[in-house]
Amino acid sequence: MSLVIHIGLRKTGTTYLQQVLAQNRGPLAERGLLYPDPASGLAAGSGPAHHFLAHALRNWRVKYTPADPFDRLEAHVAALRAELADHAGTGVLSSEDFSRLNGKQITALRTLFPERDVRILVYLRRQDQWLDALYGQVLKVGRQVEMDSFIARNRARLDYAALLDPWAQAFGAENLIVRPYEGFEEGGLWEDFCTALDCPAAAALPLTDAQVNVSLSYEAGMFLASVSDGARRQRLRQLLEEGEAATPRRPVLKYLKAEQARTLLADHADSNAEIARRYLGRDRLFADTRPLPQYRRRPAVLRHAVVAGHLLRGLLATRRGRRMRPDDSSHNGG
């Protein structure tokens, strides 16, 4: 069987894809796509992604790292390999934090699956959109940082050619699958993911609802950044995400200034073109490189009204969900 390691990037629908893969493991396996249990060989369990493998290789522990000590890596890998050995189709491991590994750690990852035909799948997003979305994520968790400092801190991660070079050296450039993350505002990411894996049967699977990492409005992001109490902020974030999930929104830059965005794209134009030629056989990595419109910021009184509206919609959506849950659980045997 072949093995595909999905390495992200962050802010390219990874949460959604991992939720779909984890929630549909049985039906997907029947259709030729195996998603090994991220908790295999671990005593403390895991979420829907293979973060323990990525974090243990990096010796990097954060809030969402599974609680097992990193000396369980060998047992974890053995359990993953045992699952893969029993499957004849395509296996997938997924963690956006694989993309944070350095060259030595990437080589170590390759040695863990020496007998496999291993490919690397990565989604790349326009640098201005990616950084703008990442900044919004930082605000969600209550951190405030000046944008120029944020750009400087993340500049190395924006050179996608440099990011992919060690993966090409360890696994071979011919085994890298590069997908531009664009045009998925109205859906289609799961179908594109299955196309990249060459698993059309998996794409046709009727999916259960999966969590989407909702991009909050500028007003909601700044509001959450002002809430100091972590538990209260998390509850408000959940309500805001519920309220905003049903609000269609075209791509805009919420936090980056137009000049900052132009500079980012200009600085990485050559790197993007190199990736396009090497991995996609074309001149441009992203189909649309036009400047994105700036988010029109409202006066303070209107910003408060926008946040209040999202919170109200979130409360209504949550109450509707509670009313539906008994019926939903009866269909799932619960």
**pLDDT tens digits for range 72-124:** 999 999 999 999 998 989 999 999 999 999 999 999 999 999 877 999 999 99
**Is 47 inside a domain boundary?**
yes
Mean pLDDT, all residues of the chain:
86
Q: Give me the CATH number covering residue 59.
A: 3.40.50
**Is 98 inside a domain boundary?**
yes
**Is 153 inside a domain boundary?**
no
**Is 43 inside a domain boundary?**
yes
Is residue 66 within 8 Å of 46, Cβ to Cβ? yes
- pLDDT over 50 at 328, yes or no: no
- The whole-angstrom separation of Cα 316 and Cα 15 is 24
**Average pLDDT over every residue of 219-244:** 74
- pLDDT at position 302 is 53
Asked which of 27-36, 75-84, 133-142, 268-277 is least confident by mean pLDDT, the reply is: 133-142
- Beta-sheet strand order (sheet of 176-180): 33-34, 90-94, 2-6, 117-124, 176-180
**Average pLDDT over every residue of 284-305:** 76
Is-above-0.85 flag for pTM? no
**Is 41 inside a domain boundary?**
yes
Alpha helices in the chain (DSSP H): 14-23, 25-30, 51-58, 73-85, 103-112, 127-140, 147-154, 160-171, 189-197, 200-203, 218-225, 230-245, 258-267, 269-275, 300-331
**Is 247 inside a domain boundary?**
no
**Is 257 inside a domain boundary?**
no
Q: At what angle do helices 14-23 and 189-197 cross, to 10 degrees?
A: 70
Count of domains in the chain? 1
Higher pLDDT: 334 or 35? It is: 35
**Is 226 inside a domain boundary?**
no
- pLDDT over 80 at 67, yes or no: yes
- The residue range of the domain holding 175 is 2-127+158-212+270-293
